[in-house]
Structure 1
């Protein structure tokens, strides 16, 4: 017997209009359709949004490709030889950036098309165009084209509820304007056909660190310019310090406490270069520069002033825990809200918004159980309270740290860099946070996420069976280290 979980539509169906086709928008659309609403979703650049076309999917595909280039280091230790055609023990692996980027663009486009087809197969109306709020119940859509790119008449979409999921774009410095050839944002990297000889990465946050590591692995000389004391200044200090040590050990140049003032393309000695000038007057010369200095929400020019939506000082839309804005009947989700710049959070915000608007059961978003990952090599995954959070809250806690090199599976794989760190309340033993630094940390963080989500104790985690040998064994062992004996 097949069970149909779709809620029968009321008559007439509630009309939902969604501006933005990224994870916050398309996940919301699918939920609204399942709840019986009449849904229209508007996207100007391609469904899936920047997450699919210019951000997460392309960057993680590039990083996954770069991972293959790092295997040679461990291969020699494991007894594997990479030989050339003459049988000499020399490495012959190289990166064809034109082919890599062509694959990345094709994969992203396919994913975008798959999302649009799924929306359409769910009886959701998709519109390719530029939307602008006219009132709290209507969106004017201009520059409309059909799926073949043929221009269509402007449209006015009326709705009972509206969701804004308009995302964000790279922040640009007036003195370092991208040209798409030598001075680049992370959205423009995928048009390069040759590997940069020397890539200067300005900004050592998540985006900067990920691309710096990936391009260095692919074979570029990389200089990472950090305005702070260390790379990844917002992350766990032990994890960030380890990544910086790894970067330097692999030959990357890290310029700490160095703020970039400008970037200019220059021609000299018959060649074209980029000069990045630092605040102390130092000039770094490279072939290309990636500006990774944050992002700004796409909240300008979409008619927010017409409906009285409140913005933060940074231009993000103010929302509550069920994604409502300050305008009645209008919700917002994703990077435009400034909550967490994660696709998973955007999707959750969108789903919660539609459940609330359409009267379904709603659980407000719980940011403490959000897992995040940085795709460096090794990866850094985190969930729950950080050590800085716990110190700031003056919470009594126990921290247990276990180096990955002690793990038998890690030894078999030739892994040395990384660790497991767990935070638990001293009195109750409840796990309140964790950090994993390891290959595939994005997968290994899941059991810790479950522990945080369901308020498990360190003993609960320790008593669960793990496979031997496995990297997850170190999570259980770190939990056992946090055991507090109770004397009866």
Structure 2
């Protein structure tokens, strides 16, 4: 085993070792480097981690492709017709665009690889070392990289281990898809969301187990691409943790597009058959399909890496316990991203990493305020939220008023043929401060920012209503809802 001691490079620099090159890791590395630290990133599968290589970037690229199909469905409403000979074709597939899934997935993975390469180039340009291998803690101030490739490492073929001494360690370990003992993925018919991109042909009948964010996003995408989709939900509705009005609207859209949504139906097992899969439900019913996607959550990648031996406290769920500036229970050891269980969002992981390094290196830092985190579900239409949800406001007994404006009333939405969606705001009844908001619309992720600013800076509905919006624009509905919440002063 070889040892690399970074103090030989700069005796004054704080030695930072980041374990994990996802958003939490690489953003932390950039901040630490700019603050003068000596930084090494250890990553086993590629810069960007699962977020770039198998999760966020690939899934959102696939969904963006599927979104073109939903846009095309509105063409007839706008007066755009297919050629007469195509429109009269007997086979339905000849009356719509044809999806070449092999080409789609080739593009998806190429974009993910290009993004990963861009991140590596950025880190190296900033002077960050990148070591490929599996990092584990050997005490609170030492990281062992198994099979290390990169500065100070071997070629990885002889199992070379490298020890990195550190003044500060950041754990950005990520998570992996959860599976069921009775439904083991094989990468061909029984799949996790990281394995979908191996498919070369569109699933004829895709069974999606799990109706949370991941399940809803992929169910909607494959439905739009042309698969017959069955969405199996153990709860009363899809997206059980989201705004009830938004979830109800989306489920209605799913059903109107031909998707089968099975509520209160828990999957017990999934097995392969000669030409497909069989999913058995808790009540004994059996659903047959060509493929099944398991979207039943994720588990933190924290086991077997020496965390508990080093004194790092883990929650019963396996997540690393951190405070609001990302400190763990061990001095000098921080954690960021999905392994902490704070919020499974790339934006939150990145912020945790940046805050951790600023705190560790003595720069000005403010604790993360989860109330100001904007989140988006990339279905069609999208669902974007920020601030307090209605369920949270009710649970804590807060006073609030709310107003909802259907998207169909917006002039710009009418021009674009958009019918499904709404803008909803929550505000304090006396002070008028914006407490939260929900937008359901195409590109809701691009529309939520004004409400994020309002929540973050404690703006009132009158503040939002009094500023100009472009006419016609979708953001005009945000100002209109704010005007509807105006309280007249006596």
TM range (shorter): over 0.9
Structure 1 residue aligned with 2:297: 294
Aligned partner (choices 111, 114, 121) of residue 115 of structure 2 = 111
Structure 2 residue aligned with 1:65: 65
- Please report the TM-score for the alignment, with normalisation by the length of structure 2: 0.95
Match of 2:251, SS state, is helix
Note the alpha carbon deviations across 1:365-400, whole angstroms, 9 max, x for none.
Answer: 000000000000000000000000000011110101
Aligned partner (choices 62, 85, 91) of residue 95 of structure 2 = 91
Aligned partner (choices 321, 346, 349) of residue 343 of structure 1 = 346
**How far is 1:347 from its partner?**
0.2
Matched, 1:133 2:137: yes
Aligned residue runs from structure 1 range 13-412, under 5 A: 13-83=13-83, 91-146=95-150, 150-151=155-156, 153-267=160-274, 272-412=275-415
- State how far apart, in whole Å, the 2-side matches of 1:468 and 1:445 are: 18
Match of 1:101, SS state, is helix
Change (3 A) 1:167 1:480: same
**How far is 1:71 from its partner?**
2.0
Match of 1:390, SS state, is helix
Change (3 A) 1:85 1:47: farther
- State how far apart, in whole Å, the 2-side matches of 1:250 and 1:86 are: 21
* Native 8 Å contact 1:83 1:92 kept in 2: no
Match of 1:135, SS state, is coil
Match of 1:72, SS state, is helix
**How far is 1:10 from its partner?**
8.1
- Please report the TM-score for the alignment, with normalisation by the length of structure 1: 0.95
| Unmatched tracts of structure 2, length 5 or more | 1-8
* Native 8 Å contact 1:420 1:475 kept in 2: yes
* Native 8 Å contact 2:47 2:119 kept in 1: yes
RMSD: 1.6
**How far is 1:171 from its partner?**
0.3
| Unmatched tracts of structure 1, length 5 or more | 1-8
**How far is 1:151 from its partner?**
2.2
Aligned partner (choices 435, 440, 445) of residue 443 of structure 2 = 440
* Native 8 Å contact 2:405 2:424 kept in 1: yes
* Native 8 Å contact 1:10 1:36 kept in 2: no
Match of 1:477, SS state, is helix
* Native 8 Å contact 1:20 1:167 kept in 2: yes
**How far is 1:88 from its partner?**
5.2
**How far is 1:323 from its partner?**
0.2
**How far is 1:266 from its partner?**
1.1
Aligned residues: 475
* Native 8 Å contact 1:62 1:104 kept in 2: yes
Structure 2 residue aligned with 1:6: none
* Native 8 Å contact 2:308 2:314 kept in 1: no
**How far is 1:86 from its partner?**
6.3
* Native 8 Å contact 1:84 1:92 kept in 2: no
Note the alpha carbon deviations across 1:195-230, whole angstroms, 9 max, x for none.
Answer: 000000000000000000000000000000000000
- State how far apart, in whole Å, the 1-side matches of 2:70 and 2:476 are: 25
- State how far apart, in whole Å, the 2-side matches of 1:434 and 1:419 are: 11
* Native 8 Å contact 1:264 1:276 kept in 2: yes
- State how far apart, in whole Å, the 2-side matches of 1:428 and 1:302 are: 50
Match of 2:472, SS state, is coil
**How far is 1:43 from its partner?**
0.2
- State how far apart, in whole Å, the 2-side matches of 1:149 and 1:470 are: 57
* Native 8 Å contact 1:84 1:91 kept in 2: no
- State how far apart, in whole Å, the 1-side matches of 2:150 and 2:356 are: 28
